[in-house]
Amino acid sequence: MSKYVKQRFTKTFPDVSYVDLSIIDYGYEDCNPLHSYGPTIRDYFLFHYIISGKGRVHYFDSEGAEKIYHIDGGSGFMIWPGQTVRYIADEHDPWIYNWVGFAGLRAQGIVVQTGLSVSNPIYKARNSDDCKALEDYFLIIIDNTNKSSIELIGYFYLFFNSLIESSEVRKKTPEDNLREFYVNEAIGYMERHYTDKITINDIAVFCSLNRSYLGKIFKNEIKTSPQDFLIRYRISKACELMKTTNTNIGDICAMIGYSNLFTFSRAFKKIIGESPREWRSKNKLR
């Protein structure tokens, strides 16, 4: 595995069809003294991991009140969608950091599992081995930017898992574990049966839960409803099929559990922003 050799590296993720975890961009920067970024606002999550050096992060709330955090190597900071943030490298020992911007159905759940919050956005690892593991995963990602998007997204899942497992503030109670178990069971059922005409009631019955309770814990854990998750999951599968096969759109509609082409097209346009035919014409692999 190579070491970083550039002062700055930035990469936009090559595939936008992943709806459960959508990587926006990622990179590495060896900052100059007092190098600053912002104030700025983004519509997605952004995590910075500090490899070495020091700097400070300024968070601003909706009323303009400012909170400053001084952080150094082995730490990190999370930025939430809609937050106004500015960060500045130290004058004498400027930081070197990795960053990744991400969104998607599971993005909020990942952040929740780290234990980080708007009031406590600073990541600290439990020990130095955890720091090394986190940095090593990012090195692998940067060394493999020419790999397929499937392989890259796999490395990012490993990176985020390491972030969750290593976080000093990660907390789990028996009740949290049980809720997470049921949500994972529901997601697993949807992933196995999305081609069928399943309903949310079918999923609740499978999990042996009341439908309203399933909706409540799903919303708490994933920050979306089971119905919305299922729709977005089906649309992501439709994107894969339209991109990699010559199957006509009507057949793809049926293959992902839709019996009505109009309903599918309307859901697709609402989520992706254009019709299935338009999206395919731009993204079909030749």
How would you write the pLDDT of the chain (286 residues) with one tens digit per residue?
Answer: 345 544 677 778 777 677 778 889 999 999 999 999 989 999 999 999 999 999 999 999 878 789 999 999 999 999 999 999 999 999 999 999 999 999 987 888 888 888 898 888 999 988 877 788 888 888 888 887 778 888 888 889 999 989 988 898 886 656 667 788 889 889 999 999 999 989 999 999 988 888 999 999 998 888 889 999 999 999 999 998 998 899 999 999 999 999 889 999 999 999 999 999 999 988 887 6
E-strand ranges in the chain read 8-12, 22-30, 36-41, 45-52, 54-60, 66-72, 75-79, 84-89, 96-103, 122-124
Produce one character per residue of 117-137: b if its CB has 16 or more CB atoms within 10 Å, e if not.
Answer: eeeebebebeeeebbebbbeb
CATH topology of domain 8-166: Jelly Rolls (2.60.120)
> Tell me: the pLDDT tens digits for 160-195?
989 988 898 886 656 667 788 889 889 999 999 999
Q: What is the CATH number that goes with domain 174-283?
A: 1.10.10.60
**Alpha carbon 179 to its chain's center:** 20
Give the separation between CA 101 and CA 45, rounded to whole angstroms: 6
Query: pTM here?
Result: 0.64
Task: Tell me whether the omega of the peptide bond preceding residue 226 falls within 30 degrees of 0, making it cis.
Answer: no
What pLDDT shows up at residue 172?
62
Q: How far apart, in Å, do the first and last CA atoms of the chain sit? A: 32
How is the chain split into domains, by residue range? 8-166, 174-283
What pLDDT shows up at residue 12?
80
